[in-house]
Structure 1
Amino acid sequence: MSERRSITPTHRYRNNDKLIGIGNTFWNMSEEHGVAGIVGDLTDGVFHMADGHEFVNFTVCSYLDLDTHPKVIDGAVAALRRFGVLDHCIPRTRVQTPVLLELEESLGELFGATVISAISTAAASTGLLPLIASGHLGNGTRPLMVFDKNAHVSMANAKPSCADETEVVTCRHHDLDHLEDLCRTYERVCYVVDGSDSLGGYAPVNELAELQERYNLLVFYDDSHSLSAYGERGIGYVRSHSPVLDERTITVATLSKGFGAGGTAILLDGYPKQTRRLIERFAGPLGYSQKMNAAAVGAALASAEIHRTDELIQLQERLRSNIALFDSLLATEQSGSTYPIRLVPMTDETVVGAAQRVFAAGFYVSPVFFPIVSRGTAGLRAMLRAGQTEEQIRRLCSVLIEAGARPATALPEPVAR
């Protein structure tokens, strides 16, 4: 009997051996120390665990607290009764109720774009990026697909399927010089990047716009973390700053974070009407029977109405005020930014213990480590929200300083008498 062959992986686009081999050690340690896998009931902004422990969650992406807004919750319930079905489980290309069309029309007016809904940003990116790679979503030219090294996993996971359609490379984080070199070399380039990332930073939108004008660069943004929290009517960082809002700029953004609902909006400009049909039919998960259900749509419709009122402005102002308060107490690389995420530096050896200490004091800040961040750059991720109180922020910062964080300003030395 001949010897059976073993398989040697190429690891061209992912490496689960490394991903799990290193990352799972931190996850196991986090769970063993009680700072992962937590279960509790949420009441008035406080989590209550079965053992009696209570804590305020400072690692949640609902930056305006719209996910608990009475109008958003009522909107979800009302939509179920109004449309009479949770999810008519059939691809919308065949049969659909008007629920998604109503939402897309509302969001299109709100954001000033053509909007196509999806169940998640992962589904949207998984479906759209291969269509871009084949030239079917673009100008017909197969572009070189350049993924930013820090591109969220929801985008990075599309590398293998894109590689079946065109060439795929990964570039260093926001390496504009390298990107321009590639634009000079290839007929068309598509850059895949977070418009606002989960570790507290914005994409160089204006500089990318210059490359778009000079080389016809196509940019695919995931702007999930800034939607609602940033810009007039909550249009997000990319649409607030990019001067190139046409077929060269494609944005996906979840409705589950600042928007406080569920699902995802794909924002398109300058594409003909038939592009919608192409996406609905051939963009992978977007063509399946997996779509936003009526409850998520109802919540999103209600949130969209809040976005049209002065209440959104007031919530954004409260969020900015809380960000400024945090920055006045604690030093991070993100200090001074309008971004609501702060990464409090720790070492790989201390990050889980520090998170445990903060949790015991009544606050949750998630420990982040490889592969969430590069090896050796672990930290505690704190997310600011409009609904957090001044007392909560001051108490959290005090506990973080006790756990090893650096205060914003050192206290002056006592004067000798």
Structure 2
Amino acid sequence: MTTTDEEQNIIGPHQYRNAEKMIRTADPVWQAAADHGLTGIRVDVPSGDANNRLVDRETGHEFVNMCSCGYLGLNHHPAVIEGAVAALREAGATSLVTSTTRIRHQLLARLEEELSDLFGTQVLPGSSCSALTAGILPLVASGHLAPGGPRVMVFDRFCHFCMSYVKPICAEESLVLTCGHNDLDYLEDVCRRYPSVAYVADGAYSMGGAAALDGLLDLQDRYGLFLFIDDSHSLSIVGERGEGFVRSRLAMNPLTLIVTSLGKGFGTGGGVAMLGDPKTYGFLTRHAGPVGWSQNMAVPLVGASLASAAIHRSSELRELQRRLHDNVAYFDELLPTSYAGNGLPVRRITVGDADRAVRLSAELYRRGFYSSAVFFPIVPQGQAGLRIMIRADIDQEVLATFADHVRELTDAL
């Protein structure tokens, strides 16, 4: 049950030694993007709208950001900003700079309680979703988080880099495999062969699409499959209280753990793990490495998150979700893609050739729209294109103008 290099679209640290072909392929394209001025752009936000009107500080070029993950616009919501300021004033410090295992500021404790109630399950905060993943995944592999001993770890080939990056550490604890994207047949075969298996995947994928959740829950029911899912790209935008694509579709249980970023739709920063088994909370605070280190959520982010949580309890959340849903549906009418109709905000416009994707991105930028070119190994070879994030706080007139430019340029290029 091994996979070839071609089957893995993300380079993990254990692959660098044998990844010369991947790096040789990707680095010239990155350099081409840099040569077109598409990387390292320093901007001002003259309007206070951190999602839309940006100005290149060096050239004065004004553009709309089409790849912001601030899906609901909460990252520049006045209440969220004021929440950060108020918390900083109340605490009189940016953080305690102490392991949260030993001492937590009461603001962080309040946030933990608030988000646990909001999402209907015990949450564990962390400095980032990546830090939570790095601390928790090896403990899944070692068998400490659910009965059955060490678990064979099956990583979806499209799972986010922050999870793929932990493969070498997990491999010290158990067998690590990589399966094709949403390949439930492969996964079931592994479940038949081994008594204790965990599947590592995204809920809503960063390059578009979603996990085959119904099939995964069926495998969990039949084989005791442990699900470790990063659902960062759907938090806030899905669910009555913004609990996300996965949490809104399942009842939490000891065989499920969801990690998610607060730095996207939620509009703040840091991350949380939603724990299927609340009894693991104390164990993770002591033994999940970066989860308990001194670099936890800074006080301003805690305050901003408390303010965002309050919005999640209000009718404003439903209005923002409605606007996002309408914009996604409108964009799908303008530029249908393979993910049209799935209700999630990430779209990918595939053009095939990496150089073509960079040139398309460069010309769109010249016309006032920044959309990131994605290419191998971010996406499989031959599937280069543009990644677009649809948001609630972008006018449909802007979407229509952007779509007109994309159609014109893809024909020309």
**Within 5 Å, which residues of 2 pair with 1:174-323?**
174-242=182-250, 244-272=251-279, 275-323=280-328
Deviation of 1:405 after TM superposition, in Å, equals 6.5
State the SS of the aligned residue for 2:195. coil
Q: Is the 8 A contact 2:13 2:165 kept in 1?
A: no
CA distance in 2, matches of 1:401, 1:57: 18
State the 1:30 CA deviation: 0.5
Could you tell me how far apart the structure 1 residues matched to 2:148 and 2:227 are?
A: 15
- Aligned residue for 1:355? 361
What's the CA shift string for 1:57-98, capped at 9, x where partnerless? 010100001000000000000001112221111111222221
Tell me whether 1:379 sits opposite 2:365 in the alignment: no
CA separation of 1:318 and 1:12: change in aligned 2, threshold 3 A: closer
State the identity %: 45
Question: Which ranges in structure 2 are unaligned for 5 or more consecutive residues?
Answer: 1-11
Query: Within 5 Å, which residues of 2 pair with 1:5-404?
Result: 13-15=14-16, 16-42=19-45, 43=47, 44=49, 45-50=52-57, 51-242=59-250, 244-272=251-279, 275-346=280-351, 347-404=353-410
Cα distance, 1:12 vs structure 2: 9.5
1:123-150 deviation digits (Å, cap 9, x = unpaired) = 1111000011111111151110111111
Q: Indicate if the aligned counterparts of 2:204 and 2:211 stay in contact, CA closer than 8 A.
A: yes
Provide the C-alpha distance between the structure 2 equivalents of 1:304 and 1:321, rounded to a whole number of angstroms: 23
Distance 2:73 2:20 in 1: 38
The aligned residue for residue 9 of structure 2 is none
Matching residue of 2:3: none
How many angstroms apart in 1 are the aligned matches of 2:274 and 2:103? Answer: 23
Change (3 A) 1:26 1:255: same
Deviation (angstroms), 1:270: 3.0
Query: Take 2:343 and 2:296, find their aligned partners in 1: how far apart are those partners?
Result: 32
AA partner of residue 377 (structure 2)? P
Structure number with larger C-alpha Rg: 1
Q: Which amino acid aligns with 2:258?
A: T
Q: 1:180 to 1:12 in 2, by over 3 A?
A: farther
Amino acid at match of 1:30: A
- Partner letter of residue 105 of structure 1? E
Q: TM-score, normalised by structure 1?
A: 0.92
- Equivalent residue letter for 1:364: Y
Following superposition, the deviation at residue 27 of structure 1 comes to 1.1
- Give the Å deviation of 1:225: 0.1
1:132, 1:306 → 2: CA distance? 33
TM-score, normalised relative to structure 2: 0.93
- Alpha-carbon separation, structure 1, partners of 2:338 and 2:202: 18
| 1:333 alignment partner AA | S
Cα RMSD, aligned residues only: 1.5
- The one-letter code sitting in structure 2 at the alignment partner of 1:99 is L
Task: Report if aligned partners of 1:193, 1:220 keep a CA contact under 8 Å in 2.
Answer: yes
